[in-house]
Amino acid sequence: MRRNPDLKLKFTRENMEQIISLQMEILEKSLVFLRKKGGKLVYITCSLLPEENIEQIRKICEKYRLEPSSENHLQIMPEKGGMDSFFAFTLIKP
């Protein structure tokens, strides 16, 4: 939204719920590639909203008994160097 501030006016709670649902669907479909013990899956968004980031991680870990890797967690805020925001989190198959 930093590059397109008018999106803030068009963005609704319904849009957010659709995005979150789609992200979860993609994440769940990606789990088929996480076969071996110790296997890793990296979840990345270009958002700073907790609903898209840490809340998604919490839900997927609870539902599929994955281990969050706090060592491999990254959050970049837009005020640092004028970059876009990014969130990355590594999930590990126990």
- The number of folded domains in the chain is 1
Is residue 43 within 8 A of residue 56, CB to CB? The reply is: yes
Q: Which residues are catalytic?
A: 46
**What would the mean pLDDT of 55-80 be, rounded to a whole number?**
81
CATH number at residue 11: 3.40.50.150
Mean pLDDT of the chain: 84
- Residues 22-56: tens digit of each pLDDT: 999 999 999 888 888 888 888 999 888 899 999 99
Is residue 20 situated within a structural domain?
Answer: yes
Higher pLDDT, 37 or 71: 37
Higher pLDDT, 10 or 56: 56
Structural domain for 32, as ranges: 7-92
pTM of the model: 0.78
Higher pLDDT, 78 or 25: 25
Distances (CA, A) of 63 to 56, 59, 67: 11, 6, 11
